[in-house]
């Protein structure tokens, strides 16, 4: 008989910090990004980034407090950041480390998607946050910043890796980038670590300004170091669109002009401009939404299958779509593009002011808060298929949706049973309730032949019973990992502006509509409905 073995005690539970340190150690022993299998390149697995310093410019601003810092906290809480991690918060206001830490703690409590705040996780992260007051035009201040980052490398083991996140006004980007180059914080020499810069939208105001900005950034950083962020590309359903298209064999064969009648993409916001009147006067819906969010969604719907999920393979295909969009001329702008501005009305059960009554808005403003247009892609897959894009503020709901409407059947065999049969629709909801809906015809149970339209609905929340990460969590982690798949490249930005700039210039050359031309709480101006009706179509009721 074999001798009885003493039971082996279970290993002791490890703290979150020990888990991070163990993961960091394992990562140093085997780096997933060294995998040479081309099928794996570009497919981000959940792994911990290299030790690094996260330098947040504009750290006292609204974006940093509402989005960036809460996203970093969530990544830390879920053990997706290395133990050797530090945040250097940079802004013009005078703060001590303690005062700034208390302020961002309140922001995390107000804006974190998971409540209540994990006090132990926050305490560990707070130890890694330091604040540096800095005027972006101050040479001596950037010299001190460089010295501080070198000191953090020695104190906290951040290994010379730095991510510079520019959560600032667009006008400040060029100066910050110039200063980073002046003190050598862009340099990537052997053994000195990687250096990356994240730039928020809007990237330029038109085609020429975007080209100039790209040129100025390229004087300091290589394109591979630059991450132009569009948070829509980090949303779960947007990312799932690639899997839906290229991971399933049944949809791609009908994803073309032979089967698709038209495509509708909607980005609707129920809020007005709130306290961002001055910003919106400078941008409008065309610069704020059309140039980036809407056109990026359009490229993901229309792109050809990439050869891999490597960043440049994806972005090459998106670029081809942007370059194939028929460039709007004056006649196209006049007949196929609609602009609107909301007036007073009712929104979410309360009286809402008109745009011209909002703070910091010109009482005679001609800035558009709504844009809708009909666009075509001149390639073999999509020639003749219209893409209808619309975005607006003070609409009835906050929702973003991509709807693919298929052509009607060639012979309506069941017209007597259905009346006028509804065509098949595939709708991808991007926010707020992420999911996918497929509409098709089915027979009603019974002895007769009664055919009705039904919906097959997939919802992320109920199907997976897990919270989707915030888009900023996804994108910040990808930037730290060096995965640029969901970030826009310089030529992409310029190609998108090449579509939108003629629209802006066309509007400048013609009289503005009689603003306001839609009431708050409605779906936009009547001209947008007429745009669809001329083609025998109508906007989806969302």
Residue 2 pLDDT? 42
Best mean pLDDT range from 1-15, 28-42, 103-117, 525-539: 525-539
Query: Do both 194 and 262 map to the same domain?
Result: no
pLDDT, tens digit, 9 for 90 and up, residues 34-81: 333 333 344 444 578 999 999 999 999 999 999 999 999 999 999 999
Q: What amino acid positions are annotated as catalytic residues?
A: 293
424 is a domain residue:
no
Strands 345-347 and 350-352 come out as antiparallel
Could you tell me which of 276, 58, 321, 49 has the C-alpha nearest to residue 171? 58
258 is a domain residue:
yes
- Which helix (H) or strand (E) segment holds residue 177: the answer is helix 173-182
Q: Looking at the predicted structure, is the pLDDT value of residue 158 above 90?
A: yes
Query: Do both 253 and 174 map to the same domain?
Result: no
Query: Do both 187 and 117 map to the same domain?
Result: yes
Residues 480/84, Cβ–Cβ less than 8 Å: no
Q: What is the mean pLDDT of the chain?
A: 88
226 is a domain residue:
no
Could you tell me which of 121, 36, 37 has the C-alpha nearest to residue 74? 121
223 — pLDDT class (breaks 50, 70, 90):
very high
Here the tokens at position 78 are: 């879920």
Alpha-carbon 341 to chain mean position:
24
Q: Give mean pLDDT, residues 290-305.
A: 95
pLDDT, tens digit, 9 for 90 and up, residues 327-357: 999 999 999 999 999 999 998 889 999 999 9
Residue 15, burial from CB neighbour count under 10 angstroms (0-12, 13-18, 19+) = exposed
Strands of 167-255, DSSP E: 195-200, 226-229
Residue 137 pLDDT? 92
Residue 9 pLDDT? 46
Query: Do both 177 and 65 map to the same domain?
Result: yes
Residues 310/338, Cβ–Cβ less than 8 Å: no
Query: Do both 370 and 518 map to the same domain?
Result: yes
The 3-state DSSP composition of the chain as helix, strand, coil percent (nearest 5) reads 40, 20, 40
Q: Give mean pLDDT, residues 448-463.
A: 79
Q: Give mean pLDDT, residues 221-242.
A: 89
Q: Give mean pLDDT, residues 16-38.
A: 43
419 is a domain residue:
no
Q: Tell me the CATH number at 344.
A: 3.30.360.10
pLDDT, tens digit, 9 for 90 and up, residues 471-491: 899 999 999 999 999 999 999
Residue 46 pLDDT? 58
How does DSSP classify residue 12? Answer: P
Torsion 17-19-24-29 (CA) sign: positive
Residue 449 pLDDT? 76
DSSP string, 408-444: PPSS-TTHHHHSSPPPPEEEEEEESS-EEEEEEEEEP
Map tokens 């980038």 to a residue.
177
Q: In whole angstroms, what is the distance from residue 200 CA to residue 165 CA?
A: 8
Of residues 43 and 222, more confidence is placed in 222
Query: Do both 241 and 196 map to the same domain?
Result: no
105 is a domain residue:
yes
Residues 290/387, Cβ–Cβ less than 8 Å: no
Cis peptide before 104 (omega within 30 of 0): no
Query: Do both 244 and 183 map to the same domain?
Result: no
Alpha-carbon 464 to chain mean position:
22
Residue 25 pLDDT? 47
Output the furthest CA–CA distance in the chain (Å, rounded): 99
Q: For residue 339, what are the contacts with CB-CB under 8 A and spacing of at least 6?
A: 285, 286, 368, 370, 371, 507, 512, 513
Map tokens 């359903």 to a residue.
237
Here the tokens at position 480 are: 């730290």
Here the tokens at position 206 are: 């038109």
- Residue 207 to residues 204, 273, 390, 493: CA-CA distances in angstroms? 7, 25, 21, 9
Residue 201 pLDDT? 84
Q: Looking at the predicted structure, is the pLDDT value of residue 189 above 80?
A: no
Q: In whole angstroms, what is the distance from residue 233 CA to residue 487 CA?
A: 8
Q: Looking at the predicted structure, is the pLDDT value of residue 3 above 80?
A: no
Of residues 343 and 3, more confidence is placed in 343
Q: Tell me the CATH number at 159.
A: 3.40.50.720
Helix (H, G, I), strand (E, B) or coil at 267: strand
346 is a domain residue:
yes
**Beta pairing partners, 52:** 85
Residue 442 pLDDT? 80
DSSP string, 276-317: -HHHHHHHHHIIIIIIIIIHHHHHHHHPPPPSSSSHHHHHHH
First to last CA, the chain: 73
Residue 465 pLDDT? 65
Domain boundary among 200, 225, 250: 200
Q: In whole angstroms, what is the distance from residue 506 CA to residue 314 CA?
A: 32
Q: Give mean pLDDT, residues 114-143.
A: 94
Query: Do both 142 and 188 map to the same domain?
Result: yes
Query: Do both 266 and 189 map to the same domain?
Result: no
9 is a domain residue:
no
Residue 445 pLDDT? 82
Here the tokens at position 510 are: 């013609």
Q: Looking at the predicted structure, is the pLDDT value of residue 529 above 60?
A: yes
Query: Do both 152 and 295 map to the same domain?
Result: no
Could you tell me which of 486, 489, 494 has the C-alpha nearest to residue 205? 494
Q: In whole angstroms, what is the distance from residue 22 CA to residue 12 CA?
A: 14
Residue 419 pLDDT? 58
What are the φ/ψ torsions at residue 12 (nearest 5 degrees)?
-65, 145
Residue 295 pLDDT? 97
472 is a domain residue:
no
Q: Domain range spanning residue 171?
A: 16-28+42-200
Query: Do both 169 and 248 map to the same domain?
Result: no
Query: Do both 20 and 62 map to the same domain?
Result: yes
> What total of structural domains would you count in the chain?
2
């Amino acid at each position: 008989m074999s001798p009885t073995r003493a039971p082996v005690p279970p290993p002791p539970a490890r703290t979150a910090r020990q888990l991070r340190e163990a993961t960091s150690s394992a990562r140093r022993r085997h780096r997933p990004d060294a995998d040479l299998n081309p099928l794996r390149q570009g497919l981000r697995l959940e792994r911990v980034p290299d030790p690094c310093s996260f330098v947040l410019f504009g750290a006292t601003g609204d974006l940093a407090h509402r989005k960036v810092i809460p996203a970093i906290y969530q990544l830390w809480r879920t053990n997706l950041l290395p133990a050797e991690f530090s945040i250097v918060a940079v802004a013009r206001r005078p703060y001590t480390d303690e005062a700034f830490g208390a302020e961002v703690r309140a922001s995390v409590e107000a804006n974190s998607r998971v409540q209540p705040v994990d006090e132990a996780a926050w305490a560990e992260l707070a130890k890694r946050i330091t604040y540096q007051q800095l005027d972006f035009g101050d040479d001596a201040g950037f010299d001190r910043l460089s010295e501080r980052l070198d000191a953090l490398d020695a104190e906290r083991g951040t290994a010379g890796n730095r991510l510079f996140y520019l959560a600032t006004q667009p006008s400040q980007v060029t100066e910050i980038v110039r200063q980073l180059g002046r003190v050598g914080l862009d340099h990537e020499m052997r053994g000195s670590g990687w250096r990356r810069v994240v730039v928020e939208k809007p990237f330029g105001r038109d085609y020429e300004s975007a080209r100039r900005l790209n040129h100025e950034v390229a004087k300091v950083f290589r394109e591979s170091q630059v991450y132009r962020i569009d948070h829509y590309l980090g949303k779960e359903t947007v990312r799932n669109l690639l899997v839906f298209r290229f991971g399933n064999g049944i949809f791609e064969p009908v994803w073309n002009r032979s089967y698709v009648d038209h495509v509708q993409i909607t980005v609707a916001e129920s809020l007005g401009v709130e306290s961002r009147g001055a910003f919106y006067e400078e941008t409008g819906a065309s610069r704020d939404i059309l140039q980036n969010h809407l056109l990026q969604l359009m490229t993901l719907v229309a792109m050809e299958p990439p050869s891999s999920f490597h960043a440049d393979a994806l972005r090459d295909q998106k670029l081809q779509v942007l370059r194939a969009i028929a460039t709007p001329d004056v006649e196209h702008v006049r007949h196929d593009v609609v602009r609107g501005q909301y007036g007073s009305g009712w929104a979410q059960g309360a009286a809402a002011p008109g745009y011209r009554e909002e703070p910091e808005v010109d009482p005679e403003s001609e800035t558009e808060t709504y844009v809708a247009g009909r666009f075509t892609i001149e390639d073999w897959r999509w020639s003749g298929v219209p893409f209808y894009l619309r975005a607006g503020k003070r609409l009835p709901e906050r929702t973003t949706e991509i709807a693919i409407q298929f052509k009607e059947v060639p012979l309506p065999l069941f017209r007597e049973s259905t009346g006028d049969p509804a065509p098949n629709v595939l709708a991808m909801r991007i926010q707020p309730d992420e999911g996918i809906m497929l509409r098709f015809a089915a027979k009603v149970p019974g002895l007769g032949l009664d055919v009705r339209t039904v919906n097959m609905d997939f919802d992320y929340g109920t199907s997976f019973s897990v919270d989707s990460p915030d888009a900023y969590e996804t994108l910040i982690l990808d930037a730290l990992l060096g995965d640029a798949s969901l970030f826009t490249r310089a030529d992409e930005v310029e190609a998108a502006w090449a579509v939108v700039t003629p629209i802006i210039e066309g509007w400048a050359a013609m009289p503005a509509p009689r603003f306001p031309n839609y009431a708050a709480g409605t779906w936009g101006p009547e001209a947008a409905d007429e745009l669809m009706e001329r083609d025998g179509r109508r906007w989806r009721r969302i």
